[in-house]
Amino acid sequence: MNSLMASISSLPPSNFPAATTAAAALRPALLVSAAITHRWQLPPTCNFYSNPPKTLSSPSHIRTATSVVSITETTPLNTEAEVSLPLKKVLIPIGYGTEEMEAVIMVNILRQAGAHVVLASVEPQLEVKLSGGTILVADVSISECSDQIFDLVALPGGMPGSVRLRDCKTLETITRKQAEEKRLYGAICAAPAVTLLPWGLLKRKKTTCHPAFIHKLPTFRAVKTNLQISEELTTSRGPGTCFQFSVSLVEQLFGENASMEIGKLLLMDTADEVSRKEEFNEVDWAVDNTPRVLIPIANGSEDIEVVTVVDILRRAKLDVTVASLEKTLTVCGSHGIKTVADDLIKNVADSIFDLIILPGGIHGVDRLQKSKILKKLLKEQVSNGRKYGAICSSSIILQKQGLLQDKKATGHPSIVSKLEGNVIVDSQVVIDGGLITCRGLSSTPEFALAVIAKFFGHGRAKSVASGLVYEYRAT
């Protein structure tokens, strides 16, 4: 676990400046480590498969997909004991202005670990516009959660999202009861200071939060660490520390073995490095006007990759368009998080973009590479000398279209062997002229910051990273 935490302590910081500090050590697991014999299953509303997934165990209280377009067998995390764990219920509330990276990273990672995560809106409607403009569709209204018992209540930050959470009386009641009954609760970014502190839930607890709000915490209880665990309470600093925060919550729910396995799935045990074919020239992607970026998404696209890239690029004032390849704007991601796209792909087919970025996700990639419109856009992008990129398994799309010829690239370990040419396996991000690729989930912030540096230079990339509480490496 020490090696895992050493590698992710360098991981990144919302809309506020700050610098990172060393990660705090995780406390021992609250539960005996055992095998996770179930993984999160797609809710019935995400019908982008034709056959239901197979699981090693399927308790009746776990939601499963009823109408699913080919899926490989779902396998459990590898842990030492083959023992079924009780279902763990997690509540993650969102409101207008919630930090999207934090909400999506938590939901995604906890669902991968096997938790039943409820994404609840504190607003009158389920569609909620978050701090960077991303619109998520919550699973339920917070009012439907008032009589439920959760193993964990985790609050994302962001402004004014943390205020919206603070002013929700139902959420306050749920969280107060959680603390009184000694069950796990946590908060990240602005939420510890803006939400939990007014509720009186930080008493006698050492706490951290985003550097822009740490002055609000009691001086003798405030700590400047990326992660702080104080009995049932876990707090963290910002979007850039959310991977570490989420893995810690996995350990407290399921044990150390489970958190180690999640760390491997997220590729957190690899070196954070950026490889470039030629020397990195600052601002060598400079354009005359605000750079326009297209991110096409489909059912099954990787939630974290889409939301993280959109959030970070918009912080740098890039003009980002998220386009749905589906018939509707609402797209169901790889772990059931429903995102509302800005437009349909057919409506932007005649537009010119300075950069097209393909997100990963096995089933999303399958749908992306079948799109005739996207194929045409990519070919025109390359033939006109404009920029293009791929995250995780989506590099295979470029490979099949012949767009990696004589290029260095990387991708998720599961598809690297299928890529032709001089592939860099161990680098998190690879830049070769107008092509930029990265390995997967945990390297997505580095990918987005590299894009910013190419368009605007290291200064702006470093400024954005500071607000994320992310350590930016310009070399």
Residues with catalytic function: 392
- Rounded distance, CA 288 to CA 353, Å? 13
CA-CA distances (angstroms) from residue 381 to 7, 76, 351, 391? 36, 40, 11, 17
Phi, psi angle pair for 19, to nearest 5°: -120, 155
CB-based contacts of 219, cutoff 8 Å, min separation 6: none
- Report which residue type is found at 336: G
∠ CA 458-225-117, nearest 5°, is 95
- Rounded distance, CA 108 to CA 101, Å? 10
Shortest CA distance to 402 belongs to which of 431, 435, 426, 430?
435
Instruction: Tally Cβ neighbours within 10 Å of residue 149.
Output: 12
What is the residue whose two structure tokens read 């910051």? 449
DSSP per residue, 239-271: GGGHHHHHHHHHHHHH-HHHHHHHHHHTTTTS-
CB 394 within 8 A of CB 368: yes
- Residues, the chain, total? 475
∠ CA 360-363-367, nearest 5°, is 90
What is the residue whose two structure tokens read 């407290």? 252
CB 296 within 8 A of CB 397: no
3-state secondary structure of 434: coil
- Rounded distance, CA 225 to CA 422, Å? 40
